[in-house]
Amino acid sequence: MKQLLQSFLGVGLLAAALASAAQPSAPPPVPTPQVASANAPAVHQYTLSNGMTLIVKPDRRAPTAVHMVWLRVGSMDETDGQSGVAHVLEHMLFKGTRELKPGEFSRRVAALGGSDNAFTARDYTGYHQQIPAERLEDVMRLEADRFANNQWPDEEFRRELEVVKEERRLRVEDSPRARLYETLNATAFLASPYRRPIVGWMSDLEALTPEDAREFYRRWYVPANAAVVVAGDVDPQQVLKLAERHYGRIPARPVPARKPQGEPTQHGPRQVEVRAPADQPYTTLQFKVPKLSSFEPTPQNDDALALSMLAAVLDGHAAARLNRALTQGPDRVADSAGASNGLWGRGPQLFALDGVPAPGKTPQQVQAALRAEVERIAREGVSEAELQRVKTRWIAGEVYKLDSLFNQARELGAYWVYDLPMDAGERLLRRLGEITPAQVQSVAARYFGDEQLTVGTLKPLPRDKQAPPRAPAAGARH
């Protein structure tokens, strides 16, 4: 199933519980591992003496390990006028500490035989390395140092800010669909901080100061707002000792209080059009829908799961409904069509329908055809066999995905960010398996009116107005 284009910098994922910070003088707690299930590799979760979370998943198939640091802070934690600061700060974490010169962190990781990078999303920021398992302590020492001691001269900030601004030009301003989605998010969300782009508005970037980034770092980069995730050929008790040695000595500080930023109820359709150089028009319909907040069988959680199954029925495989109904035959209305559901996140979620009109067809015809397929399910429902097919494909995709150590660590970090248990993947599959055809039909009938709808349309400009493509920004990390 296609992913909703919510951002071009982050990844949309899962996450587990944030442990409360212990006082600096308190003795280290007796760690109690949390095991995902009897049928899966054990996932061990600990709380370090300063409140930082440690998550370890042994996987001994190869002598390698993935090490990540996740922070429950992203673009949604910024304030108006400082959009983009979370992402800029992520870049600055590579620019030195009291012990390391700018760029030396990555050079040392490479010298260990590893690779590294980082990512910023709406809900979180993450830093990761993949290294030979015997070099895990070396990477922990490096990462703990920059977590606690990040520093750089103002001039280094100004140079890196130019790199980020060029990223924005390349990835948003030179990308017609990215420009559409940026405008769409700013229209769909009024109060939610999801309305701000992860990379930041250009005017905010131009006004951003070194002290803005330092203050964001001091505010949010605290142990109790972070989790270390290690997956690979490791021993959990040994990893715990290393984590206490390198991360546990970072002074504990409280996590700043977060104010609620709920989205007011929408009372009618909204519509945006972006005109930009493009080969084809494109359109998307975004409906506000409930998100999964836990695995308890509540009406909201059941609807969120049923909406994900609806998206899979519409766009879960090559022979799914949208592809068959809209993109095939002599009277096809679209070159491509898709659906996706924002199942979970720290902020409000959207269900998306989208499509590229076929030659001679209009965005309005595609919009009507997309909605007609949802209305057909609302009237006629789906068969048990059809629903079972997409459930089977979903399960297979989840299993194959976890062949990657990086994906294993990434999912555990995301479970933590979203305050979900470490076996959230298994629980999700069990809950999805319980969704019935009647539930899918019910959500198709209840969530796709005009009241919660925002429509976005990309209208191509003539080819002679297209700008030449930009080269990638020097030093860009994404």
Q: Is residue 17 part of a domain?
A: no
Question: Are 338 and 234 in a shared domain?
Answer: no
219 and 277: one domain?
no
Is 443 within the bounds of a domain? yes
Q: Is 371 exposed, middle or buried (0-12, 13-18, 19+ CB in 10 A)?
A: middle
pLDDT mean over 290-300 = 96
User: For the residues 15-37, what does the mean pLDDT come to?
Assistant: 30
366-396 pLDDT, tens digit per residue, is 999 999 999 999 999 999 999 999 999 988 8
Burial class (CB in 10 A: 0-12, 13-18, 19+), 231: buried
Does one domain contain both 308 and 173? no
Instruction: Let me know whether 362 and 282 are in one domain.
Output: yes
Q: Are residues 373 and 277 in the same domain?
A: yes
pLDDT at 469 (0 to 100): 56
Question: What pLDDT, in 10s, does the model give residues 114-150?
Answer: 999 999 999 999 999 999 999 999 999 999 999 999 9
Mean pLDDT of the chain: 90
Do 221 and 136 fall into the same domain? yes
pLDDT reading at 477 higher than 70:
no
Residues 240 and 279 occupy one common structural domain: no
Q: Is the pLDDT of residue 416 over 70?
A: yes
**What is the reported pLDDT for 349?**
97
Residue 106 lies in a domain: yes
Residues 200 and 294 in one domain: no
- What's the confidence (pLDDT) of residue 9? 31
* pLDDT at 472 exceeding the cut of 90: no
Catalytic annotation, pick one of 90, 143, 167, 386: 90
Asked which of 16-30, 72-86, 309-323 is least confident by mean pLDDT, the reply is 16-30
pLDDT tops 50 at residue 17: no
Q: How confident is the model at residue 35 (pLDDT cuts 50, 70, 90)?
A: very low
Question: Same domain, yes or no, for 241 and 275?
Answer: no
In a domain, 461, yes or no: yes
Q: Does residue 323 lie in a domain region?
A: yes
Q: Is residue 38 part of a domain?
A: no
Q: What's the CATH code of the domain at 389? A: 3.30.830.10
Percent of the chain with pLDDT over 70: 88
Q: With CA atoms as reference, report the closest residue to 147 among 228, 234, 242, 47.
A: 228
For residue 90, indicate whether it is catalytic.
yes
Residue corresponding to tokens 């206490």: 244
**In terms of domains, do 275 and 220 share one?**
no
Domain that holds residue 134: 44-246
Contacts of 118 (CB under 8 A, 6+ apart): 90, 93, 94, 125, 126, 127, 128, 477
How many domains, the chain? 2
Measured CA to CA, the distance from residue 350 to residue 450 in angstroms comes to 14
Residue owning tokens 């996932």: 43
Of the listed ranges 42-51, 266-275, 460-469, the least confidently predicted one is 460-469
**Residue 395 confidence (pLDDT):** 86
How much is the pLDDT for 475? Answer: 53
Residue 263 lies in a domain: no
Q: Do 238 and 285 belong to one domain?
A: no
Task: Determine the pLDDT at residue 47.
Answer: 98
* 223 domain residue, yes or no: yes
pLDDT tens for each residue of 427-445: 999 999 999 999 999 999 9
What value does the mean pLDDT take over residues 148-173? 97
Give the pLDDT band of residue 4 (cuts 50, 70, 90): very low
Are 194 and 333 contained in the same domain?
no
